[in-house]
Structure 1
Amino acid sequence: MKPLRTAVTVTLAGCLFLGQSPAGADEDAPGPSSLQQWIDSVVPPPALPAAPAPPTAADLAPTTAALWRAVLPPATGDPVFDAWPEGLDRFAPGDLLEVRDVTATAAPFAVVPIRRALLLKFRSTAGSGAPSYGTATLVIPAAAWTGPGDRPVLINALPINALGARCTPSYSLAHGINDKFNAGDLFPPTTWWGLQRGYAVLVPDHEGPWMSYAEPAVAGHVILDAMRTVRALPGNEFGDSRFAVTGYSGGAIASYATAMLLGEYAPELRGALVGAAAGGLVTDYRGLARKFNGNMASGILLAVSLAMSREHPELLTVMNHLAQWVATSPVKDTCGDSNGPLGVAGIPLEVATNTADPLNAPVADRILRQVDLTDRTAAAPLYIYHGASDIWIPLEPARALYEQQCARGVPAAFHVYPGEHLIGALAGFPDVLDWLDARLRGQPTTGECPTPPPSSGR
């Protein structure tokens, strides 16, 4: 088991920071080192059956297409999650493709009686801009809504942090407790709180159909399209509802991306999304890569690496043979509780790549710039919070985001709580709920940005 974990660390780390371009396209990147050449000379490539190219990258070379198919998560056995719909380009983002009543299996996960739980499949958009699809579950409490307006909707962007498709929250809500169930779907009890308050709760599978963990465009698109789907459901129950999204850590990437992409991707939802809360948030992928490279904190980063290659299959062309073996192993089906330990060996990125300086290669710069959303302005109020002693995700980029968004006129709040990553999540939880509750009940916010000094008039 130890050699496998070492190989996993080597492999996954090499994927994320090597960019999106085919091998050889990045002419300024340094060539392979003698060690890298030796690895490929002694490790043969895996023999993979021919496979069709991804529906979002039809011009992919046959060998790369075969590798892409081999690194995808295994099918769940449920066509709602597995089947790629034909003719997606004929649908608009958010169009409902399929709906299933999952009330019977979802009810045991709720602490109050629910009227209905619906598994939704809808048209969405891949990170490349090509048509894709998403899934989410809408849970509606049995009690009548007695507040003003239509029943509000709380979007709970859970920290899925997974590579396997059965690790998604909607799979558990549709199939009950299973061997891939994540206890983090229930704690902190955000969904329970929302249902008890009378809100409908929307639980999105924000990693998309290929489990592209931490790809912000995929996550933001899935959530915004899930909102579009819910607003257009028959009966018009949620056509004028207020929506607020919250997420922590991996879920924070999704809630943050929802607010940052709202203006350009779904401008008609301005005003419907009344707030986005994000805790333990990663905004600086470049800095995190340098911080985690070659040390025991790299487990989650390594999982992200493989996940990124699914959404951007060009990444696969720069993996060495060792990386290809491990990326096609059972590692590709792991859930969030298994990903952290994968980084214990602390192997540097260079062992799995074909460029001697992967973090400084131009191709790395291109992908890191692509996943950086800090050049956008949030189109909804923000609540950003962080643990004061978070050793995994640095505090300062979150503070910088707050200051940047304040300067752009966004109603924003920023709070630091005692503790590291997990304790910070729990310490901030009550305040986050209060903030979400106020937004969903229609109370406006001006944020907590510092007031600029008065002009001197000169």
Structure 2
Amino acid sequence: MPLVNRSHDSSAVPRAGRRRSRLRRTAVVAALTVLTLPGLAAVPASAADRPSPSSTSSTSSAPGPSSTSDVPDVPVVPNQAVPLDDFYTPPTPLPDGADGEIVRWREEPRQLSARNYLVMYHSTNATGQDIPVTGRVLVPNTPWRGEGPRPIVSVASGTRGVGDTCAPSRWLDYERPFIEPMLLAGWAVVVTDYEGLGTPGGHTYVVGQSEGRTVIDIVRAATNLPATGLEAGGKVAFSGYSQGGGGAMWAGELQPEYAPELDLVGVAAGGVPADLTEVADGLDGKVGFGFLLFAAYGLDAAYPELDLGSYLNERGRETYEREKDACVEATLPHAFQNIGMFTSTNPLRSPQWQARLDENRLGANPPDVPIRLFHGTLDEIVAPGQARTLRDEYCAAGADVQWEWHLGEHVSTMVTGAPGVITFLDRRFRDRPFLGHC
């Protein structure tokens, strides 16, 4: 798709200006492309994008790739999950390994003109346990023309659902158009599946103490895998929207203590669920109630002592069994329902649940790097007020924050906020001046 009018004489425009203009145009076109995707639902990957169900992967401490020359030409059936393969089943017992150490990997057919690696790596969950996590590493053909090693953007995905079939690494999803301009800029992109998406166990949906670590550790994994050619010590940024906005911001808050060796230069996060209690209150009885169900499942998966089942009535238990492996489209039938329809007692009001919700509230440890936050004024899924509070807390603590309101609801703000994210990241990777709004 041509992005530049070839008849236009740009010789009089400074080179840096032409590059920034191309980045903005690419981001806008990529952002608008998302509008052609069907709603919020993920779309199955093409045969060239998906893993081969018949392929095998190395599980040794010095893992090697699997062959990708025999990837079958499997027809795409709309809205049908890609079959799971054994790559996502970790070895038993899980071998010891440091955070970010590779458990297994394989190279797959190229995506978006980038070398494409499926990885399983070590991370640490919300209760301090070593866990296997999967994800993708994309290394573009486009060279990095800035200083130092090729930068890495760890993209925290928005809501996919809570079932294994929803894992970001297994789907051609609605964030793909936003990743493309990053690759065209010469940046490597890594995308985690988070805890429990693809790998065994429940997905710890919106539990920042888990998500933040998985977002960080896939950067380590990418540089720990020699096949990628990515070097440790290069500039790193975290980026995400919605659930991914929370994951990116949690990675930013955890990084100084958890991964001080990373050269983190910025965090871009939109639609951030910073205060889960306030977000839950804004979903109960409203159009996005299905996301509240996912959040309850996620907290229960992260903290088994919360014992969600003990709070559920018969309808709640039936719904849990039906939706515990659901993807994002399953939220739609639950619009305008309320938590009292599914519980005998509201778990979110119990001291045990409140304590865990407080542990996963952003704002206590502002990242010491430039931050770009944006939110929709009409966001019907993630309450705008609590996002504004996060901005105010960061500013009061002396953080460098850019803040931008967008006139729109949740999905449209993801689209309109994308060009600003690309510009922000480009300036961070090139050490350009930062203008904060605090």
Give the TM-score normalised by the residue count of structure 2: 0.74
Letter in 1 for 2:360: V
1:440 to 421, 429, 432: 429
2:90 is equivalent to residue 83 of structure 1: yes
- Does 2:164 correspond to 1:165? yes
The answer on whether the counterparts of 1:282 and 1:398 sit within 8 Å (CA) in structure 2 is yes
Match of 1:200 in 2: 188
Q: Secondary structure at the match of 2:131?
A: strand
* Residues 237 and 140 (structure 1), Cα distance of their counterparts in 2 relative to 1, 3 Å cut: same
Rounded to whole Å, the distance in 2 between the matches of 1:304 and 1:81 is 23
Partner deviation per Cα, 1:295-347 (whole Å, 9 max, x = no partner) = 34311111221232222222245243523333222x222212332x1322513
What secondary structure is seen at the aligned counterpart in 1 of 2:194? Answer: coil
Partner SS state of residue 333, structure 1 = coil
- What amino acid maps onto 2:299 in structure 1? M
Distance 1:206 1:249 in 2: 14
Q: Give the match for residue 325 of structure 1.
A: 318
Q: How far 1:280 sits from its partner (Å)? A: 1.0
Contact 1:160 1:169 in 2 (8 A): no
- 2:145 counterpart letter in structure 1: T
Unaligned runs of 5+ in 2: 1-80
Whether the aligned pair in 2 keeps the contact of 1:277 and 1:384 (CA below 8 Å) is yes
Of 222, 232, 235, 1:239 maps to 232
Displacement after TM superposition at 1:93 (Å): 0.9
Is it true that 1:391 corresponds to 2:380 in the alignment?
Answer: yes
AA aligned opposite 2:250: A
Aligned to 1:185: 175
Task: Quote the residue 2:77 is aligned against.
Answer: none
SS at 1:374's partner residue? coil
Aligned-partner Cα distance in 2 for 1:118–1:361: 43
Secondary structure at the aligned position of 1:328 is classed as helix
Q: Which has the higher helix share?
A: 1
1:416 and 1:320, CA in 2 relative to 1: closer, same or farther beyond 3 A? closer
Please tell me whether residue 221 in structure 1 is matched to residue 213 in structure 2. yes
Amino acid at match of 1:302: L
Paired with 2:92 and 2:429, the residues of 1 have a C-alpha distance of 34
CA distance in 2, matches of 1:259, 1:444: 20
Which structure would you say has the larger Rg? 1
Counterparts of 1:22-41 in structure 2, within 5 Å, are none
Q: How does 1:34-433 map to 2 (within 5 A)?
A: 77-83=84-90, 85-88=92-95, 90-102=96-108, 104=109, 106-107=110-111, 110=112, 113-114=113-114, 116-172=115-171, 182=173, 184-186=174-176, 189-208=177-196, 209=199, 210-234=202-226, 237-269=230-262, 272-314=263-305, 315-320=307-312, 322=314, 323-329=316-322, 331-339=323-331, 341-344=332-335, 346-347=337-338, 349-355=339-345, 358-433=347-422
Post-superposition offset of 1:442: 3.1
3-state SS of 2:132 partner = strand
Amino acid corresponding to residue 327 of structure 1 in structure 2: Y
RMSD: 2.3
Contact 1:262 1:379 survives alignment (8 Å): no
TM-superposition CA deviations, 1:29-73 (whole Å, max 9, x none): xxxxxxxxxxxxxxxxxxxxxxxxxxxxxxxxxxxxxxxxxxxxx
Q: Secondary structure at the match of 1:253?
A: helix
- What is the one-letter code of the residue matched to 1:117? N
Summarize the Cα distance change of 1:320–1:390 in structure 2 as closer, same or farther, 3 Å threshold: closer
Aligned equivalents of 1:293 and 1:438: distance in 2?
39
CA contact (8 A) 1:76 1:82 kept: no
Pair 1:143–1:428, CA change in 2 (3 A): closer
C-alpha spacing 1:441/1:233, structure 2 compared with 1 (3 Å): farther
Q: Which amino acid aligns with 2:259?
A: A
Q: Give the Cα–Cα distance (whole angstroms) in 1 for the partners of residues 347 and 190 of structure 2.
A: 39
Instruction: Tell me if the contact between 2:152 and 2:219 (Cα under 8 Å) persists in the aligned partners.
Output: no
- Equivalent pair of 1:76/1:165 in contact (CA under 8 Å): no
In structure 2, C-alpha distance between the alignment counterparts of 1:354 and 1:379, rounded to whole Å: 44
User: Would the aligned equivalents of 1:124 and 1:132 in 2 still touch at CA under 8 Å?
Assistant: yes
Cα distance change, pair 264–76 in 1 and its aligned pair in 2 (3 A): farther
Q: Verify the 8 A CA contact 2:160 2:167 in the aligned structure 1.
A: no
* 8 Å Cα contact 2:362-2:390 kept in structure 1: no
Once residues 402 and 285 of structure 1 are traced to their aligned partners in structure 2, the CA distance between those partners, rounded to angstroms, is 16
Pairs aligned (count): 351
Deviates more, 1:372-381 or 1:283-292: 372-381
Q: Alpha-carbon deviations, 1:276-308, whole Å to 9, x = none?
A: 111111111111222222334311111221232
Look up the SS of the partner of 1:120 in the other structure. strand
* Aligned AA (1:153): I
Q: 2: CA distance between counterparts of 1:194 and 1:414? A: 21
Contact 1:93–1:124 at 8 Å: present in 2 too? yes
User: Matched residues in 1 for 2:257 and 2:164: separation?
Assistant: 29
Shift of 1:171: 1.7
Secondary structure of the structure 2 residue equivalent to 1:346: coil
User: Identity across aligned pairs (percent)?
Assistant: 27
Distance 1:426 1:368, change over 3 A: same
User: Counterpart in 2 of 1:16?
Assistant: none
- Mean Cα deviation higher: 212-221 or 286-295: 286-295
Amino acid paired to 1:395? P
Q: Quickly say closer, same or farther: Cα 1:293–1:240, change in 2 above 3 A.
A: same
1:128 CA drift (Å): 1.0
Q: Name the counterpart of 1:57.
A: none
Residues 84 and 354 (structure 1), Cα distance of their counterparts in 2 relative to 1, 3 Å cut:
farther
Provide closer, same or farther for how the CA distance between residues 392 and 227 of structure 1 changes in structure 2, counting only shifts above 3 A. Answer: same
Extract unaligned runs of 5+ from structure 1: 1-73, 173-180, 451-458
SS in 1 for 2:362: coil
Q: TM-score, normalised by structure 1?
A: 0.71
* Cα contact 2:192–2:214 (8 A) shared by 1: yes
**Is the alpha carbon distance of 1:409 and 1:84 closer, same or farther for their aligned partners in structure 2, counting shifts above 3 Å?**
farther
